[in-house]
Amino acid sequence: MTTETYNEIYQFIVKNGQASIVQLFNHFKISRQAIFKHINRLQRENLIYKVGKPPTVFYFPKIIIEAVKNNISVENKKIIEENYLIITPDGKKLDGIVGFEYWCNKQNLPLEKTAIEYIKTLEKYNKYKKDGYIDATTKIKDSFKEAGLNKLYYKDFYSVERFGKTKLGQILLYAKQSQDRNLIGQIGEAIRPSIMDIIKKNNINAIGFIPPTVKREIQLMKELEKSLNLSIPRINLIKISGDIAVPQKTLNKIEDRIENAKKSIIINENKIYNNILLIDDAVGSGATLNETALQIRAKGICRGKIIGLAITGSFKGFDVISEV
């Protein structure tokens, strides 16, 4: 693998704005295997990104102007690289500083100043994180007359002020909307450490995945369950509906959400467990998790604690998450 060819391929992609494997093959007259080796290296070094799925795949350059790079501190750039993600209207997944620069340009905002403001915003929200997740138990206790959950955790907030959806919030939204198994797998990788930590600390010996209301060909929670592949008994939770399936996100009043959850979740389980973990995708009001926990207790299935974990949750109490 020659450095000269590697650089020429990169410059070709930069000059043309994009390139496919076929275009690179026709231009450089080298084997497809050699081209893929160079492409893989360019991706590892974060110089290009891929758009599309086989057989229609194009590679685009991640161009960051040197003057711009020098105006953002190394530490701030690292934080943005780790935390920022945006999905463009045409379906490009832009991570880190490239995505942040794209968003700033769209908003007509100065990059350096806005980067500092973004870091400060993250610091505000990260104060609520401990051990990689957020304790939102007070939201349950303040919202419901009867709390079925002993604890409620979020892996992350769904969105933050001014800057919109978090990285995990973006991935969750588009994983559900596009039914993308790759994105669902990324969610699994992101939340698995927190799940294992909660299981260990709370001696969890059974787990339940909150079932979806809206039928899709690829169901996020089912795929997530497969992706996590946890060696722990699963509680069988069933979602039923009347003549029309009514998603929680369509209900604004917490009383309606409680009624919806109470009458649509069925606990199809006879075994008894000590401590149970319930996993949901996004917490709006928290009604579904809490009512599921109350039903589990009413059936005498749990002797001890019931812990809830949401992939994402709202920062302001239990505001309705209307997109997910």
Confidence category of residue 323, pLDDT binned at 50, 70, 90: low
Entry pTM: 0.77
Residue 239: pLDDT above 70? yes
Mean pLDDT in residue range 185-209: 95
Averaged pLDDT score across all residues of the chain: 87
Taking only the tens place, the pLDDT of each residue in 48-67 is: 888 877 888 888 887 644 43
Q: What is the pLDDT of residue 94?
A: 83
Q: How far apart are CA 215 and CA 25, in angstroms?
A: 43
Q: Collect contacts of 71-79 with beta carbons under 8 A, ≥24 apart.
A: 71/111, 71/112, 72/97, 72/111, 72/112, 72/115, 76/115, 76/116, 76/119, 77/115, 79/119, 79/122
More confident: 90 or 82? 82
Residue 100: pLDDT above 60? yes
Identical fold between 3-61 and 129-313: no
Q: What are phi and psi of 253, to 5 degrees?
A: -85, 135
Q: Which of 4-8, 81-85, 115-119, 148-152 has the lowest mean pLDDT?
A: 4-8
More confident: 16 or 163? 163
Q: What is the pLDDT of residue 319?
A: 44
Question: Domain extents for the chain?
Answer: 3-61, 66-126, 129-313
Q: What is the pLDDT of residue 78?
A: 81
Mean pLDDT in residue range 224-241: 91
Could you give the strand order of the β-sheet that contains 306-313, starting from the edge strand earlier in sequence? 129-130, 133-135, 151-157, 306-313, 276-283, 206-209
Taking only the tens place, the pLDDT of each residue in 17-27 is: 789 999 999 99
CA 68, distance to chain mean position in Å, is 29
Confidence category of residue 10, pLDDT binned at 50, 70, 90: confident
Q: Which fold has domain 129-313?
A: Rossmann fold (3.40.50)
Residue 123: pLDDT above 80? yes
Residue 45: pLDDT above 50? yes
Confidence category of residue 284, pLDDT binned at 50, 70, 90: confident
**Tokens standing for 99?**
């995505």
Mean pLDDT in residue range 110-135: 93
Q: What is the pLDDT of residue 274?
A: 97
- For the ranges 107-111, 143-147, 277-281, the maximum mean pLDDT occurs at 277-281
Residue 247: pLDDT above 80? no
Confidence category of residue 321, pLDDT binned at 50, 70, 90: very low
Q: Which fold has domain 3-61?
A: Arc Repressor Mutant, subunit A (1.10.10)
Give me the residue label for tokens 């990324």. 186
Mean pLDDT in residue range 102-131: 92
Q: What are phi and psi of 269, to 5 degrees?
A: -150, 140
